[in-house]
Amino acid sequence: MTSQTIPVLDFIRHLLSAVANAALYGMTHPQVERLSVLAYTNLLSVLQARSEFTLMVVENELVIDGQAQELTLFLRRFTQILTANAIGTLTILPGVTKAELDALIRGMALQQDNGQREIDSSEFLRLGRVEVRLSETGARGGGGSGKAHHPRVSLPDMPQEEMGRFMELYETAKHQHKLKVNGIFDIVSGFIDVFRQEARPLLAMAALRDTDEYTFTHSTNVCVLNLAQAMVLGISGQLLNDIGVAAMLHDIGKLYIPEEILTKKGKLTDDEFDIMKQHPVKGARHLLETPGVPRLAAITAYEHHLKYNLKGYPRVADSWQQNLCSHMTAISDFFDALRTRRTYREPVALKEIATMMYSMMGTDLHPGLTKNFLKILSQLMKTKTATA
């Protein structure tokens, strides 16, 4: 538990108590008002250190600041209430008023009482479902409006110059060991802008490149895949940007790996693989020492080869809790490594990759996130078949 997490837990505890009391006594009861004031005070404290604050429910797990929480009794109850109210994401922005918080408490209390009233978003307090939006009728997600989407969207190709820009940034970092962070942010922002112009961001996968410039296409492809996963989970704002930046930089530690190992066509020897396994630690250290890099990028660089069951590398304690972005990146990393053309093999068929990923759920890959990813992949395969 971090020092930043404590005010969040205090906010949830008081919010939950306010909801329970409002369900019993109504919103005008003095105890409800007292708890509401406490919850709002906690919330203002939380927002002092953040540009926004998001809680998520993913596969019955409560995620705070990208970190799945150990479900204590009150956190489990809070997660159940969010799920019962079909709330997958709760995003709160600076400027939120106590009246908005009271409306949330009232809505949750009434929903518990009669199960009829839907809780609405407001200007600074936004609610959404965590779900993959695959239906042609435009299922609601990320606080969206629920408007119908066209079932077939053809994404424009991601601009080739973005890969060229990343190649320049990578080469500069390689020779000078100085990363131009602003350039990375610009590339990620460009991707997000393109996706936002489309009704179906999950089909961003259709724009992935499979050229032989593997070092560069892999990083940009993993960024695209992470953004697609995050956007269908309803993630937005600064967290979405940070997830994209983390994806772009997840393999930055390979700057420190000898070129002959990185480009070797055959199987690595044990000694070579030991050297290769150093890149997560080296990458995380490099990013921690680079001003302006989101902390999430360093965490993801360190964790993206841990595996869901922590049997990967580097070795960590059995109690280690991985960040949600690291799980996303592991999924994107595995998928793109197989579907990208290499000098020594052709891309693996999408159906075969899906079968492999399904068998890895719960061991190498996060089960809930992988299920969502496979739904995206299924839609992509249908699109490819329809347009073939």
pLDDT of 386 higher than 60: no
The string of pLDDT tens digits covering residues 96-123 is: 999 999 999 998 887 655 544 567 888 8
Does residue 123 belong to any structural domain of this protein? yes
User: Do 69 and 186 belong to one domain?
Assistant: no
**Residues in CB range of 238: below 8 A, 6 or more apart:** 51, 52
CATH of the domain at 282: 1.10.3210.10
What are the backbone angles phi and psi of residue 91, rounded to the nearest 5°? Answer: -110, 125
The residues facing 54 across adjacent strands are 91
Please report the DSSP string for 26-73 in residue order. Answer: -TTSHHHHHHHHHHHHHHHHHHHT-S-EEEEEETTEEEETTEEPP--H
Residues 85 and 182 in one domain: no
Residue 326's pLDDT band, with cuts at 50, 70 and 90, is very high
> Which pLDDT does position 176 carry in this prediction?
60
C-alpha distances out from residue 285 to 12, 252, 357, Å: 34, 10, 30
Does 286 lie in the same domain as 202? yes
DSSP state of 128: E
Residues 84 and 170 in one domain: no
Domain range enclosing 73: 5-128
Q: Tell me: the pLDDT tens digits for 246-305?
A: 999 999 898 888 888 887 878 899 999 999 999 999 999 988 888 888 889 999 999 999
Considering the domain boundaries, does residue 142 fall inside one? Answer: no
Residue 153 placed within a domain: no
Sign of CA pseudo-dihedral 295, 296, 300, 306? positive
Q: Could you tell me the pLDDT band of residue 325, with boundaries at 50, 70 and 90?
A: very high
Domain boundary residue, one of 128, 152, 179: 128
pTM of the entire structure?
0.64
Whether residues 246 and 164 fall in one domain: yes
Q: Is residue 145 part of a domain?
A: no
Provide the domain count of the chain.
2
As a whole number, the mean pLDDT across the chain is 78
Where do the DSSP E strands lie in the chain?
Answer: 53-58, 61-64, 67-68, 89-92, 125-128
- Sorted by sequence, the CB contacts under 8 Å of residue 294 that are 6+ apart come out as 242, 245, 246
Residues 202 and 343 in one domain: yes
Please spell the DSSP secondary structure of 149-214, one letter per residue: --S---PPPPPHHHHHHHHHHHHHHHHH----HHHHHHHHHHHHHHHHTSS-GGGGGGG----S-H
286 by DSSP, 3-state: which?
helix
Residues 288 and 213 in one domain: yes
Report phi then psi at 125, rounded to 5: -135, 105
Closest to 168 in 3D by CA, of 189, 190, 185, 183? 183
Do 243 and 293 reside in the same domain of the chain?
yes
- Whether residue 192 lies inside any domain: the answer is yes
